[in-house]
Amino acid sequence: MQKDLIFVIDDNRMNIQLLNSILSKENYNVISTLDSEKAYDIAVKEKPDLILLDIMMPKLDGFEVCKILKSRRETKYIPIIFLTARNDEEGVQKGFKLGAADYVTRPFNRAELLARIETHLSLKHNQERLLELERQSSILAMAVTANHEINQPLTVLSGNLFLLKESMSGHDLTDQQLKYMERMERAINKIKNILEKYRNADTIHFQDYAENTKMVVFEE
């Protein structure tokens, strides 16, 4: 079973190979880059679940990369674990202030590294589930409100259409007039069916509607 995607950012090829070996044996998917300037673009494209970030790198150091990732909407919620030299308390404090979730010192202790990764992935997924439940709860509340607000004018439409048909009973109606009434009745019944489906919905999911737009679908 494949696990989450981990993005390693380190300018040392040997470090990347070591991390790739450790993580792959645990069935994690791993991507990496030696070029810190490409880190943001790769993160946006690949959407990793967690980032392992070296501090000491040329071009952009780990602090700058972390600052960029945490300032952008697409990457701000990806947990970052800094890879740091032992006894670098100042660097660790700076990393936390920039939004890093944790740090691991070199040389790596395999069990500690994996435990920290597992902890922060678990926290991330739990947070995502809570956000999803909160979002679904908000949507259900909106659906209930809409249902209530639509029902009243719909009842007026339905009742008046019935009264109109009753008042015209026995009159000679043209085919076109009968067709108009039938269309109105079908439209009213369709709205009633939609509202009924939303009232009895058990689950909600989202599906693509148009570019960068999704629609809510209620399932019975």
Banded model confidence at residue 96, pLDDT cuts 50, 70, 90? very high
Q: What confidence tier does 141 reach under pLDDT thresholds 50, 70, 90?
A: confident
- pTM of this structure: 0.68
Q: Which long-range contacts (CB under 8 A, 24 or more apart) does 131-138 make?
A: 136/204
131-219 CATH fold = Helix Hairpins (1.10.287)
Write out the residue limits of the CATH 3.40.50.2300 domain(s) in the chain. Answer: 5-108
Can you say how many angstroms the Cα of residue 206 is from the centroid of all Cα atoms in its chain? Answer: 10
Of the candidate CATH numbers 2.40.110.10, 3.30.2130.30, 3.40.50.2300, 1.10.645.10, the domain formed by 5-108 belongs to: 3.40.50.2300
Question: Regarding beta strands 80-85 and 102-106, do their DSSP bridges make them parallel or antiparallel, or are they unpaired?
Answer: parallel
Q: Tens of pLDDT along 18-36?
A: 999 999 999 999 999 999 9
Q: Note whether 35 and 77 are within 8 A (CB).
A: no
Model confidence pLDDT, tens digit, residues 40-55: 999 999 999 999 999 9
Pinpoint the residues of the chain covered by CATH 1.10.287: 131-219
